Amino acid sequence: MVKPKRTKTKSPQKEVVSAKGLTGTPSYRDAMSRVEEILQTIEDGEVDVDELSVLVKEAADLVALCRGKIRAAEIQVKTIEEKLEKDAPENAGEDE
């Protein structure tokens, strides 16, 4: 089996190298699709023992990447909400 080449990325997010040879930082949707594909492959029994650990590691890396993306999005939303609250007029929406 030929190992995929790893390429350096300037992205602060973790680079993922999949068993399919794909490199780079996938989108959340692409990462979750790949996790689902890996799970289906394992559940269908289409993977031998030698491949299993590679696929489990890939899935774990992708799940960690997705969790990081979710955390980053939560922080961005919170920051935007705080900015909007700070910029809002003090009496907006209050009953007299």
**Residue % of the chain over a pLDDT of 90:** 60
Distance between CA atoms of residues 54 and 69, nearest Å: 23
Low-confidence ranges of the chain (pLDDT < 50): 1-14, 21, 96
Question: CB under 8 Å to 17, separation ≥6 — which residues?
Answer: 4, 6, 23
C-alpha distances (whole Å) from 2 to each of 17, 37, 65 are 13, 21, 24
Whether the CB-CB separation of 25 and 14 falls below 8 Å is answered with: yes
Q: What is the pTM of this model?
A: 0.66
